[in-house]
Chains A and B, each alone.
Chain A
Amino acid sequence: MAQHTIDDEVAALIAEILEMDPVQLDRNANLVEDLGMDSMMALEILAALEKKFKIKIPEADLPKITTVNQTIELAKKYAR
């Protein structure tokens, strides 16, 4: 899968859970402080990543979902 496709798919997935327009999503914005993500949304993002990319992400990595770009890195780490 092309890298840019993973990037865009992760961003789209996060935008959907945060109910935002993916185009307006700042990929370096703090998901909690800037975009209003709560712990349950973070869990939903984790589960959506697992389903979308057919990967398994340990619970210990949940705190790494801090920005869209960090989440993209997390997805890539396990999608390899």
Chain B
Amino acid sequence: MLDSPVVPQQLNFEQVKQIIPQRFPFLMLDRVVNAEPGVRVVGIKNLTGNEWFYQGHFPKRAVTPGAMLCEAVAQAGIVFFHLSRPVRGDVTYLLGSIKMRFLEPAWPGDQLEIEVTPIKLTESAGILSGEVRVNGRAVAKGELTLSAKDNSKL
């Protein structure tokens, strides 16, 4: 279990950065609004027209790349995994597989609500279900397999 018995229900941007290793320009999580270890994590990412990926995707009409929605789910997954099965030591998080369906486009100005829930968890890996919503409507949903690999074994 956690070193500290108190798990915050919400995480601000700085607290998120203490958990996930991604940094600019690859941070796809602004804050966590609901963290329930072992149950779910719900995060928020506010998309602005300034995001780096809109420069090329696409120059004439900005659409959020599906790959970045996958990344947002993966980052919420890291937060979930970290809170549910705290990893000790120096690890790198790797995706094993991701199966995602994109239901509607996400545009600049949208607020992404990213929810992950567990399908199966072990000490070093997990299969998670993920959904990305905008205004309560699902824009992407799917499953991903995530593992925390000890850096000495990579």
Question: Are B96 and A38 in contact (CB-based, < 8 A)?
Answer: yes
Which B108-145 residues have a C-beta within 8 angstroms of A?
119-120, 122-127, 145
Q: Residue B147 at the A interface, CB < 8 A? A: yes
Question: Are B122 and A47 in contact (CB-based, < 8 A)?
Answer: no
Nearest A residue (CB) for B147: A40
Nearest B residue (CB) for A47: B120
Q: Residue A12 at the B interface, CB < 8 A? A: no
- Mask, A40-76, CB within 8 Å of B = 1, is 1101101100100000000100100000000000000
Question: Are A62 and B122 in contact (CB-based, < 8 A)?
Answer: yes
Chain B residues within 8 Å of chain A by Cβ, number: 14
Q: Residue B97 at the A interface, CB < 8 A? A: yes
A59: chain B residues at CB < 8 Å are 122-123
Question: Are B127 and A44 in contact (CB-based, < 8 A)?
Answer: yes
Nearest A residue (CB) for B149: A39
A42 shortest CB reach to chain B, Å: 9
Question: Are B124 and A39 in contact (CB-based, < 8 A)?
Answer: yes
Question: Are A41 and B127 in contact (CB-based, < 8 A)?
Answer: no
Question: Are B122 and A44 in contact (CB-based, < 8 A)?
Answer: no
Which B95-112 residues have a C-beta within 8 angstroms of A?
96-97
Question: Are B120 and A40 in contact (CB-based, < 8 A)?
Answer: no
Question: Are B123 and A39 in contact (CB-based, < 8 A)?
Answer: no
Q: List 8 A-B contacts (CB under 8 A).
A: A38-B96, A43-B122, A43-B125, A43-B126, A44-B127, A46-B120, A47-B127, A50-B120
